[in-house]
Amino acid sequence: MSSTHGGRREGSGRHKGEEVKLVRVPLSKVDAVLAVRDSDYHHTIPLYSSKVAAGYPSPADDSLKDSINLQEFLVRKPSKTFAVNATGDSMIDAGIKSGDMLIVDSSQPGKSGQIVIAVVNGELTVKFLSIRANLIYLLPANPSFSPIEVSEEADFRILGVVIHVIHTI
């Protein structure tokens, strides 16, 4: 039986011996995943060797040291990293303002003193994690807010550790 369709075409199909992996994506997320796939991750910006004095001015130097890829700089483990926007001002004294984008590493379990994204009884929050005498507290960085004591009965989990805060000035 002969056909006018199909057949071998140079450069088509998968290369012999190349492994493939099926990735399942919810239909509601297909457009977002395709947008990420099709975007250019390799934008770099110049990185100058000069240091900028935050105290007294220092002599200017325009020597270009290198360039950096912000994706690589901000995301250590792509499959374990997500971003979320902060709302409210309970973490203002830690430099997190309402509207800031938080870059979160979900592979880190969270240690006392780190800023974490946590779920407490179905509510998301960003706070300092404090573990004292087997008690868990979520501490705000604003004296107008009270610490949250996480009871043993609470539905509690840490989604990850905040590794970067991005805000516009």
Q: Kindly list the catalytic residues.
A: 90, 127
Cα 95–Cα 101–Cα 102 angle in degrees, nearest 5: 75
Cβ density class 80-105: b for 16+ within 10 Å, e for less: ebeebebeeebbbebebbeebebbbb
Q: How many CA atoms lie within 13 A of 17 on its CB side?
A: 0
Reference 103, options 147, 159, 142; nearest CA is 159
Region for residue 80 given its phi and psi (left: phi exceeds 0; alpha: psi -120 to 50; beta: otherwise):
alpha
Strand partners, 161: 105, 116
- Alpha-carbon span 64 to 26, nearest angstrom: 44
